[in-house]
Chain A
Amino acid sequence: MSHPRTQVCAELEAHLPDYIDGQAKESICRAIEEHLASCDNCRIVIDTIKKTISLYHDAPPEMVPDQVHQRLIKVLHLPDL
């Protein structure tokens, strides 16, 4: 599906990074939220950006395998604590 962008969508997009990180001014937040109430596409884009960020943020880290840890301390000539 293509995104039927209006002038308002384009203008508000410039403020998205700050809005998503909770850094946008109150007046900008209000303008974006008013727009989202009537623009499904922008709402979906913002929801899925937020979801993308939370998915990556919440994904469990890649754990260091024990052999990798052992080889690391060996190459550094360190005691295994």
Chain B
Amino acid sequence: MPISAIMAPMVDNDLSLVQAAQRGDKHAFAQLVKKYEQRVYNLARKMVRDPQDAEDVLQETFISVYRHLNDFQGDAAFATWLYRIATNASLMKLRARKDYAVSLDEPMEADDGENMMPREIVDWGITPEEALLNSEVRAQMDAAVEALPETMRAVFVLRDIEGLSVQETAEVLGISVPNVKTRLHRARMMLRENLSAYFKAHPFQKESAV
């Protein structure tokens, strides 16, 4: 569900909390933290996976929000601004870890369609959801997200896990809507391949159904 749908009745509330926090009201800032820490933490876990790194991202995000509170003008949703800071903090963490820089402005690899071609044709689409959500499958899902290139991962996490709209995802990442769509499709195809290969190796058996 897009931020606009979830947050619509809350936008004014966010704005008044931010304005109170800008005047130094710690209680108002604590309310913002309470409201959003779960979302930021989930985003961070999906982006950096490691719990300690995710905690660092969580802290760095809210420290940065606090320091830059006066830069927030209210012309965008607070949630969009917060997601931008949290996504950047996650990408910084990944870059520090890998010791190389990946820019969101980097040109996309040539779109020759080759790497978009489905390879694994395994029909696991009818597998009952409860059988797919055991801890082993979830670990595989997390590993598959971690295997995505950083910028593709950010698009997928914001759009398909956090449920932002394509437009909101573009605003958070500062990239165009068509760019979001291209990266999103590539990410979904890569994850599908990864999970298909997994379910080919671990076929669902009815007798073991929950």
Contacts and interface: CB of A to CB of B under 8 A. Distances in A.
B42 A13 contact: no
Given A54-B129, A68-B41, A71-B59, A78 B30 contact: yes
A41 B141 contact: no
B195 A52 contact: yes
Interface stretch (B4-12, B70-78, B115-123): B115-123
**Interface bin, chain A:** 35 or more
A48 to B, nearest CB: 5
- The B interface, classified by DSSP as helix, strand, loop or mixed, is helix
Contact of A57 (B31, B124, B145, B161): B161
28 contacts: A3-B118, A5-B117, A17-B181, A17-B185, A41-B118, A44-B121, A45-B118, A48-B196, A49-B192, A51-B125, A52-B192, A55-B133, A55-B195, A56-B161, A57-B163, A59-B138, A59-B141, A61-B42, A68-B55, A72-B33, A73-B33, A75-B63, A76-B29, A76-B59, A76-B66, A78-B29, A79-B26, A80-B30
